[in-house]
């Protein structure tokens, strides 16, 4: 991977590359934009490019084994040819991107770079030796602050990527504030976040904001194909995702669940909703996506309808909008979904229609 593999974010990538090349790196940055638009990948590429040594990495040839007693009178072994004849290391000349072949790049790509830390809820669970929680805690941010005080081990820069920073509790954000205000030299903290409003204004005002827009459909399709989705499904899922690969993945899971249902089954809506993820945050997000798909489909039908059908779709549109607003509140998302799907089926929009792109 290098910046060239991040598709659909040309303007943003250009800005990041210019920063790397200038070496004037803001110590605190927020990469914000809809889920599944490449924020985390770009942060990882940024960290890799920043720490790249731009010179090809070579394993040093192994030293010859020490002579044993039996070899004392044997002719001295010649030095290994590799040690004498190693061609000069290649130098990567594009200073705005990583080379992909130096020791730093190899370690960054394998997730083992000692100066690049990804801080997320899975990392926190290992750090605090506890079950994974939905929130990033104050103790984790204190640990980050402690690491930030230490010197880098391999490279010039220490980079901390706080992934999905909406998980930061306000107290944890406050614990991070001091590092953002007075960063130790050579430290960069990148927060990736879908909704920047989930961060305190004190955090926002100290960070350089980098926006990630929705992906163009062609870029989303190419990325889905690269992940192994067939070309036809990739086209449909790119359209349904509306520029977010995360929404495309959700639509892919709807597609599978709907195709497993029997067409005339009276309990199909309930069977479909019972397939929501167990994780309540993910399930609520899926319900919102389904309600958005239902709204889009209802608007389509409403705009081409006339007479009594128009009135029917107007009622459904209003009702679905109400349910969509309720999805952001503390209401049973399962009940919301079942109500919305039953009412839309009654108005003539079937479950299958929601994931049809024609
Ligand atoms: Zn490199």
Dihedral sign, Cα of residue 330, residue 334, residue 336, residue 337: positive
Q: Is the pLDDT of residue 149 over 80?
A: yes
pTM of the model: 0.82
Cα 151 to middle of ligand 1, angstroms = 20
What is the average pLDDT across 85-100?
85
The SS3 assignment for 38 reads: coil
Pick the range with the lowest mean pLDDT from 67-81, 86-100, 191-205.
Answer: 67-81
The chain-wide mean pLDDT, for the chain, equals 89
Give pLDDT tens digits for 339-351. Answer: 999 999 999 998 8
- CA distance linking residue 144 with residue 198, whole number of Å: 20
Cα 196 to middle of ligand 1, angstroms = 31
For residue 19, what are the β-bridge partners?
Answer: none
The pLDDT value recorded for residue 211 is: 97
First to last CA, the chain: 35
In which band, very low, low, confident or very high, does the pLDDT at 63 lie, cut at 50, 70 and 90? low
Of 115, 195, 200, nearest to 160 (Cα)?
115
Cα 62 to middle of ligand 1, angstroms = 23
Cα 87 to middle of ligand 1, angstroms = 18
- Does 80 or 103 have the greater pLDDT score? 103
What percentage of the chain reaches a pLDDT higher than 90?
Answer: 64
Residue extents of the structural domains in the chain: 3-56+91-212, 217-354
- What would the CATH number be for the domain defined by 3-56+91-212? 3.40.50.300
Enumerate residues with CB within 5 Å of ligand 1 (an ion).
52, 98-99, 102, 105
């Amino acid at each position: 991977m290098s910046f060239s593999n991040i598709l659909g974010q040309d303007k943003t990538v250009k800005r990041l590359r210019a920063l790397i090349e200038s070496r004037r790196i803001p110590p605190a940055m927020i990469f914000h934009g809809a889920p599944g638009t490449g924020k985390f990948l770009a942060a990882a590429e940024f960290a890799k490019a920043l720490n790249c040594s731009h010179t090809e990495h070579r394993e040093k040839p192994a030293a010859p084994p020490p002579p044993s007693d039996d070899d004392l009178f044997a002719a001295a072994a010649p030095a290994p040819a590799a040690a004498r004849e190693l061609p000069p290391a290649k130098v990567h000349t594009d200073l705005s991107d990583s080379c992909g072949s130096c020791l730093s790049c190899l370690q960054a790509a394998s997730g083992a770079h000692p100066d690049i830390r990804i801080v997320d809820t899975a990392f926190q669970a290992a750090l605090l030796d506890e079950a994974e929680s939905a929130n990033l805690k104050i103790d984790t941010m204190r640990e980050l602050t402690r690491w930030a005080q230490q010197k880098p081990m391999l490279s010039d820069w220490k980079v901390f990527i706080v992934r999905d920073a909406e998980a930061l509790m306000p107290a944890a954000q406050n614990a991070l504030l001091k590092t953002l205000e007075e960063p130790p030299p050579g430290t960069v903290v990148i927060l990736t976040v879908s909704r920047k409003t989930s961060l305190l204004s004190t955090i926002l005002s100290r960070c350089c904001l980098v926006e990630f827009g929705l992906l163009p459909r062609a870029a989303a399709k190419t990325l889905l194909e690269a992940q192994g989705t067939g070309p036809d499904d990739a086209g449909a899922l790119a359209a349904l995702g509306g520029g977010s690969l995360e929404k495309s993945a959700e639509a892919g899971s709807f597609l599978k669940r709907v195709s497993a249902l029997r067409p005339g089954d009276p309990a199909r809506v309930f069977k479909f909703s019972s397939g929501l993820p167990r994780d309540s945050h993910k399930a609520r997000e899926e319900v919102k996506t389904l309600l958005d798909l239902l709204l889009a489909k209802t608007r389509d039908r409403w705009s081409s309808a006339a007479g009594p059908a128009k009135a029917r779709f107007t009622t459904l549109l209003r009702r679905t909008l109400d349910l969509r607003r309720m999805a952001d509140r503390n209401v049973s998302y399962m009940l919301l979904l079942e109500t919305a799907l039953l009412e839309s089926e009654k108005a003539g929009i079937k479950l299958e229609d929601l994931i049809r792109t024609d």
